[in-house]
Amino acid sequence: MNEILTLTLSLISGILLGFLYFGGLWLTLKRLHNSKQPALLTMSSLLGRSAVCLFGFYLISGNGLEVLVFSLAGFVLSKLALIRRFGLQAHMEAD
């Protein structure tokens, strides 16, 4: 029972990290055309999002390989969910 809880929490933490990373990317891209310094915005967003995710995965990896794999699966699932949600919206706005 404890292992199931651990794996579930790692999946949820991966989903949260993914929403943070890819949601932050989406927000950065939406603000990019109004930015006075787009390169600074892009680089600071990339460094901030990457640092938070790498630190999160570092903390998660201390619990073993299975836990890390589940959190990475959650990360990918959040990416797919955001692509499904915003990818269709962006495609419809372009038409």
C-alpha span between 23 and 39 (Å, rounded): 19
The structure tokens listed for 31 are: 């603000």
**Residue 45 in domain:** yes
Confidence of residue 90 (pLDDT cuts 50, 70, 90): low
Q: In the prediction, which pLDDT does 92 show? A: 54
Q: Tell me which residue has tokens 């890390």.
A: 68
Q: For the chain, where are the E strands, in sequence order?
A: none
Q: Mean pLDDT, the chain, as a whole number?
A: 88
**Residue span of the structural domain in which 61 resides:** 37-95
| Predicted confidence (pLDDT) at residue 82 exceeds the cutoff of 80 | yes
Tell me what pLDDT residue 94 has: 54
Predicted TM-score (pTM) of the model is 0.83
44 assigned to some structural domain: yes
**Tens digit of each residue's pLDDT (9 = 90 or more) over 46-80:** 999 999 999 999 999 888 899 999 999 999 999 99
**Within a domain: residue 57?**
yes
Is residue 63 in some structural domain?
Answer: yes
The answer to whether residue 4 is domain-embedded is no
Please tell me the total count of domains within the chain: 1
